[in-house]
Chains A and B, each alone.
Chain A
Amino acid sequence: MDSTLPDAFEASQSGAGLGQKIAGFDSQGRILSDMTPYVKVDDPPKFELESYISNYTGTFDRLYLIGTCSTHLSTEALKAAVSEAKSGKDISRYERAVTALAQAAPGEIEAKRDIDWVERMHKVVKAETDRLEHELKGYKNNLIKESIRMGNEDLGQHYHQIGDQVSASKAYTRMRDYCTTPTHIASMLLKITNVAIERGDWLSVQSNVQRLRNLQSKPDEHTKNKPKMSAALGLSQLHLDAYSDAANSFLSTESTLGDSYNEVISPNDVAVYGGLCALASMDRNELQRKVLDNTSFRNFLELEPHIRRAISFFCNSKFRPCLEILEAYRADYLLDIHLQRHINILISRIRTKSIQQYVVPFNRVTLDSMAKIFAPAAVAGEPLPTNANSPFVKELIRLIEDGTLDGRIDLEKMVLVSNQIDLRMEVQAAALESLESYTREAHLRLLRTNVIRAGLEVRPPADHNVGAGGKGKHARM
């Protein structure tokens, strides 16, 4: 996966990430890329926008993403995004939403920019910033630690609200020196983590989660923060393409998470992310043991029963239904703020794994029977699934070439033949090869020692024409 920048992720401007677009940073540290989203989802999603979005607090980024990516929900989502932005203080957000809505549905009333609101908000924000800065200065003069901490916290919160994430995270970081109890530190670290998640700075998320984990805090508080830590860590690993680690992090998230982390992730998300990452990175035994038999994760899985079904289908080697479920939900996941960049890779990995698992018991298997499972519907205009030029056969060829599948295709009999390896021959060949390379290396080293001993190292020429005369070309071939 071509995630070029560690923090190449910006929720509301979903252009980042896929496709190595040239990105720049705006004054707020967000990553700017061209405003057109890279995915257009034409299929209607399975969820209801309202009930979906009510799972979260701070819904703007999700709404904006759905609005710009989905053709079905675009107007509805963008309208909600505009009103959401208007209820906050972030002007740039509002402007982005309005621009997007004006493109999608120019006729709507909300598509017109509310200049009064913008100007008023500018003033309000400015006044608030000045006030908070001023207060903080006052606290600093008085040298009262607790006041300084709170001043910084307020300032950070304010910056967060107006969308200046860099300043927000700076303000939160400044709190560190004035924290007196582990509780304060924990709340500070959580805030920094949240800002980092919003910025898409996943390395910072990881380091802060690590700090939070090493913190000596009260046991009850620790248990309260633990699920949050796991979820945040999982998210960052997902975005850094470490799917196996992400799966383990999500799987270890405790069900006490509930709705407590709604600004970042809902329990449904944990189920989906964890389930998909596990499917893509674990083998069948592991899936059974770590996912299906995992009592604490079962609570999450119950929220998303189709993921559970997909995993159990995979474990029972029923690949067709498993892949069908994933295909059916692909549209939903493409509209998910965190999954959008990864869902295609995840699904293709699951598919590759299914193919690998499918051919294991066979000595030779017809392409026909494989196509029934992995390429059932021949797309109009494309060659039959078993034709040499069909996408399915091409996929198989690619898998064989990169070594994922150990077999060869017989285009005469239309079968996939697994490679029979003569172990005796192989061992002999390996022994011979290692013997030869060892002898060569030993000879090379021995010569080197003796060259040095005899003083025959290549020396800089004493006179200038030595180097030029050194060409040894006697026979031209």
Chain B
Amino acid sequence: MTEALSQICSISSQLHHSDEIADQDYDIQTHDLLTQLRQIIPTVSDIRSDSPDFLDNLNPSLHSLPYLLIWGYHVCSIRSETGNPFPEDVRPGGNLWSKAVHFLTGFDPVQVRYAGSEWRELVELVGQSALAASKPFLAIQPIREAIFRLDSSCSVFTSTHLLLVKLCLHARAYKHALPILDKPICHFPAGPEHSQLENQQPTLRACHESSAQILRKSSGLSAKITYREHLEYFLNGAMIYMALKQWKKALHFLSIVISSPVISSVSMVMVEAYKKWILASLLENGRLTQTPAAISSHTIKIYRSITKPYITLAGAFESGDFSRLEAEVDIARPFWHMDGNTGLVLQVVNAFEKFRYHRLGGTFAALTVSDAMERAPSCSVRLTNIEQFIATLIMSKALNATLSHPNDLTKSTMLRFSSLGSSASVSKDSLTQSQLVGGGWSLASLMTHVEEGDYILGMSKEYIETLQKNQKQTGSPLKDSKDVGSFSGGFDIEEDIMGDLC
């Protein structure tokens, strides 16, 4: 055992004094190491005979590759012995499971780039066996950490993202998905044929500046991705946000799904997303908002034809007629149930009341509760005690108002809405400031990705200027031939890219 161990360690430890080694050499050495390991592992009797305890002797952060390969070898052998795709050892609590979790929390991100498919198998096995054992929660933490470890910017979509989000949904551990969901996805693993830089063949170790280059299709770090995976990821992400009542973010995710480019037909995932988008839009804004501009009219027509009940529901909501809303909700009950949206629809009904009182605050500065009820008649039996309901709204901060009981008990309670300007305060001011700064940061980080995209697509300032010139010559001037600003400041460039591709 020690012999085998020292052999393996000696091979891989060469890499760890590698700070002085040039990227090119590191590349070659690692590839060599991999081939050697693949040859050695099945032959070393210690590993074979010994239980996975052998792995305890390896430090995953130093010897990531050997650890990964040996683990994979054990899983393979156990599988072939038992014939079970998720053998007992791999399930949560099993011996190999804990080894895998140990690995995921401590592996070296550079080394695993060279064994992408093995890494992915490990992650997937962890996730799936947790699912198979109905303990999805156990897999969430290690997988999330692994994602961050592999790509700290988290801007490239991989199949692991989808796996994690699904695990969170199954475990109902919505908040645990937020660290990943809050990082905006900007790239997708591109195939080699798309990269103009392919001929340069960047070394896997070197290209730190862009995670998109590590996570290409051939790396194996992500499974093959089709449109359905990325749509499902955003839809599931939106559902997590909705479960947490973060409607704004949910709307953004749903917008991504419904505005996804299509060639001719529309995916069912997109239709599902459109249904939820309508409901979330009502919940967040109290009305149906404009669909993203990128959606073609043809696609919108398809959506509308399939989602009739939702559109009539939105119409009833906007009309401000409570009985009509309730009737619509009742009539289409089977639809809501079939689509799994019953819960959302019920929330929409509640939100209706909220928005109506909100609107009342725009018209009145103060009025009696009975007047308020008259103006926002609520037919629902649940709300027999309107005063209590208003009190709930105020307490939940949905309504900026106060209730005051009169001295004379025969009179109705007075509902006084706070005046619009008075909410200004130092705390709110600083909150807004910090929000502005945060927004600026996220925009700036997005801009770097946009620039990256420009670079890869060859969208330089000169190119666009020539394009404009050519178009002018052919007699069809650009719709808005604004001055194309500098790279960092001007978003016009970005718009122009889109104009080209859409």
Point out residues on A near B: beta carbons under 8 Å: 388, 397, 400-401, 408-413, 415, 417, 419-422, 424-425, 428-429, 431-432, 435-436, 438-461, 466-468, 470-477
Contact = CB atoms under 8 A, between A and B. Distances in A.
Interface stretch (B92-100, B146-154, B254-262): B254-262
A397 B374 CA distance: 14
Interface of B: 166, 169-170, 172, 184-191, 194, 225-228, 230-232, 235-236, 239, 242-243, 252, 255-256, 259-270, 272, 292, 294, 339-344, 359, 361-368, 371, 414, 416-417, 419-424, 428-429, 432-433, 435-436, 439-440, 442-443, 446-447, 449-450, 453, 456-457, 491, 494-495, 497-498, 501-502
B270 A449 contact: no
Most A CB within 10 A of own CB, among B187, B363, B371: B363
Given A420-B421, A471-B269, A474-B166, 16 more contacts: A401-B362, A408-B364, A410-B364, A411-B371, A419-B419, A428-B429, A432-B436, A440-B255, A443-B186, A443-B252, A454-B189, A470-B269, A471-B268, A471-B272, A474-B239, A477-B343
Contacts of A453: 188, 190, 194, 453, 456-457
A152 B405 CA distance: 83
A458 B231 contact: yes
Contacts of B428: 425
A472 B450 contact: no
28 contacts: A388-B371, A400-B363, A408-B365, A409-B364, A409-B365, A412-B416, A413-B366, A419-B419, A422-B421, A425-B428, A440-B255, A442-B443, A442-B447, A443-B186, A443-B252, A444-B256, A448-B501, A451-B261, A453-B190, A453-B456, A455-B194, A456-B188, A471-B272, A472-B232, A473-B272, A475-B243, A476-B340, A477-B239
Between B242, B269, B417, the greatest number of chain A beta carbons within 10 A of the residue's beta carbon is seen for B269
B362 A447 contact: no
Between A429, A435, A460, A472, the greatest number of chain B beta carbons within 10 A of the residue's beta carbon is seen for A472
Given A458-B261, A459-B227, A443 B184 contact: yes
A458 B262 contact: yes
B453 A449 contact: yes
Contacts of B433: 428
B263 A459 contact: yes
Contacts of B228: 466, 470, 472
B502 A467 contact: no
Contact of B188 (A397, A443, A454): A454
Contacts of A438: 443, 491
A142 to B, nearest CB: 52
A454 B362 contact: no
Contacts of A470: 228, 231, 267-269
A443 B448 CA distance: 12
A456 B189 CA distance: 10
A421 B420 contact: yes
A451 B188 contact: yes
Most buried by B among A419, A435, A442, A459: A442
Contact of A448 (B225, B491, B502): B502
Smallest CB-CB A-B distances: 4 pairs: A476-B340, A454-B188, A410-B365, A477-B343
B340 A422 contact: no
B344 A425 contact: no
A411 B440 contact: no
B294 A477 contact: no
A459 to B, nearest CB: 5
A475 B244 CA distance: 13
A445 B340 contact: no
A446 B420 contact: no
A476 B239 CA distance: 9
